[in-house]
Amino acid sequence: MELTIQQGDLAYAVAKAIASVPTKSPMPLLSCLLLDADKGTLTVTGTDLEVTTAVTVPCAVAKPGKVAVPGRHFSDVVRKMPRGELTLAMAGDQVEVRYGSGKGWAKFPTQDAADFPRVPDLKAESRMTIEGPSLARLVSRSAYAASTDAARPQLSGVLLHGSDKQMILVATDGHRLARASRKGTFEGLLKDGVIVPGRALAAASRIAEEATAPVEIEIAGPRNQAGFTTQVGDYRVQVLVRLLQGPYPNYEQVIPKGNPREVVVSRTELLEAVDIVASHADNVTRQVRFSLADGKLGVSSATELGAGRHEIGAEYRGDAMEIGYNATYLLEMLRSLEGDKVMMRLGTALGAGLVESVGGLPEKEEDLLCLIMPLRLPDGVA
């Protein structure tokens, strides 16, 4: 292998691919990056067998070839090299990188590329495209609600499904739920959906944020694989993922249809109130108490750590009500919403509540629904 490449191009490819390289692995090759030079391009690939990131960048190839190099060490050194032209070539059983018009060089040990895990061949049964910024928004508005409990692996992913009318992303951990959607023709997605691991979807979201072309989503259901591919300028970036096995819960069943109590508050004021009062909350339950009365909402907490109360104005007309929530869940949910005001639709102190932005989202073709389950208050107030 021998090639010439711009430092910025190599550094970009390595930085993206290294995100899929595990920090620790019983398989030494999984700590490597695969460099594949051929026909005027260099493809840098990293994988942990669950998520694979492959980035193809332009270069001048004098001699095609493949080689595996130590991922994090290679990334750290290349990142620090000066801008300008680099040359990569084999020097015995090492890769030598020369930079700065002969100013410096670095050598890296290699492993046989033939032993590197094979990049999955999708053979997709269905595919569709979506604008990168739209996909990134859908992910950021939903993925935070996915579970971190290894006992329920399917809930650690995000359900992705579509139709000829919309695309929907849903995440839940059993205590909260976020459903983000976008109108459009997305029948290329399976109606029952696929479950994409949260970490994999985060990687896809990062490339979507930078995309200069639509993101192509490919699904290979029988092979339990999916791919997200786009262009970032001259770079082709692909994230391949192993899908999670279902079934995913019927989330529509848990969305309440008749919550009669409506509370409208300033989103930023509620964020501030919960954030301050949560400093006193229990480290495990993170519980804060909402006290609703005509025209106001009080947020309070009292533990051995201390106590506090913060009151804000609220558009609420109804019976006084007290309800407990996990402050961390509330803060993450409120940060995923947009706009000046949010509406909470509540039923009882033990029933699921719905939270939405008043007036909808800035993107009129998109929608977001958040659900949060309350915590039972210590004194049983309902």
Is 147 found in the same domain as 246? yes
Cα separation of 103 and 150, whole Å? 50
Place of tokens 């804000």: 312
Q: What is the pLDDT of residues 296-322, one digit of tens each?
A: 999 999 999 899 999 999 999 888 999
Whichever domain contains 195, its CATH number is 3.10.150.10
Q: How confident is the model at residue 72 (pLDDT cuts 50, 70, 90)?
A: very high
Given 251, 266, 290, the domain boundary residue is 251
| 382 belongs to a structural domain | no
| 120 belongs to a structural domain | no
| 377 belongs to a structural domain | no
pLDDT on residue 151? 83
Q: How confident is the model at residue 82 (pLDDT cuts 50, 70, 90)?
A: very high
Cα separation of 220 and 218, whole Å? 7
| 380 belongs to a structural domain | no
Is 339 found in the same domain as 246? no
Is 111 found in the same domain as 52? yes
pLDDT on residue 191? 67
| CB environment 179-208: b (16+ within 10 A), e (fewer) | bbbbebebebbeeebbbbbbbbbbbbbbbb
Given 115, 140, 168, the domain boundary residue is 115
Residue 26 lies in domain? 2-115
| 179 belongs to a structural domain | yes
Is 218 found in the same domain as 154? yes
Q: Is the pLDDT of residue 380 over 70?
A: no
Rounded to two decimals, the pTM is: 0.89
| 381 belongs to a structural domain | no
- How confident is the model over 169-188, as a mean pLDDT? 92
Is 81 found in the same domain as 16? yes
| 358 belongs to a structural domain | yes
Q: What is the pLDDT of residues 132-165, one digit of tens each?
A: 999 999 999 999 999 988 788 899 999 998 888 8
Is 260 found in the same domain as 246? no
Is 103 found in the same domain as 181? no
When divided into structural domains, the chain yields a total of 3
Is 154 found in the same domain as 61? no
| 121 belongs to a structural domain | no
